[in-house]
Structure formats: C-alpha cells, structure tokens
C-alpha cells in the first residue's frame, strides 16, 4: 500500500501560496500588456516606435570637444 504525505503549505491548485501569487501576477501583467496593445496600437492605430529618440537635448561642445574648465 502506498501512502502519500500531504504538506500543509500546498494550498491553491497544488502550489504554495507564494508561487500561486507569482502565477496570478504573471497572468495579470500579460493581460494588461495585451489590452494595451489592442487598445493603443490596433484600435487607435498608433505605430509601435522601437527607435525612441531622446526628448531632451544635451548641450553640444562648440570648442571641438575640449573642456577648459
């Protein structure tokens, strides 16, 4: 006869509670990403810009790159 020992920390779907919470957080994050993609890029038609440019301009050296100070 085979007997199985059931640990008390296995609660939800046979996973420890912390692992289940990580699983739920992963599903939520993926769902939010999918909803964002559908609403912004499909319905509103905004393109995905992977070459994001800086919005701030850094001052450029006017003395040929030398710093005297």
Count the domains in the chain.
Answer: 1
52 within a domain of the structure (yes/no): no
Mean per-residue pLDDT pooled into runs of 10, the chain (69 residues): 60 88 96 95 87 68 64
CA 69 from centre of chain: 43
27 within a domain of the structure (yes/no): yes
Give the CA distances from residue 34 to residues 28, 39, 47, 50, in Å, rounded to whole numbers and listed in that order. Answer: 10, 9, 15, 17
50 within a domain of the structure (yes/no): no
25 within a domain of the structure (yes/no): yes
- Range of 24's domain? 10-43
69 within a domain of the structure (yes/no): no
- What pLDDT was estimated at residue 56? 65
- What pLDDT was estimated at residue 52? 67
28 within a domain of the structure (yes/no): yes
């Amino acid at each position: 006869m085979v007997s199985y020992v059931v640990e008390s920390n296995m609660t939800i779907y046979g996973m420890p509670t912390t692992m289940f919470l990580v699983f739920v957080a992963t599903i939520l994050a993926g769902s939010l990403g999918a909803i964002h993609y559908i609403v912004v890029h499909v319905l509103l038609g905004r393109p995905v810009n992977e070459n994001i440019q800086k919005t701030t301009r850094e001052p450029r050296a006017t003395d040929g790159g030398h710093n005297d100070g």
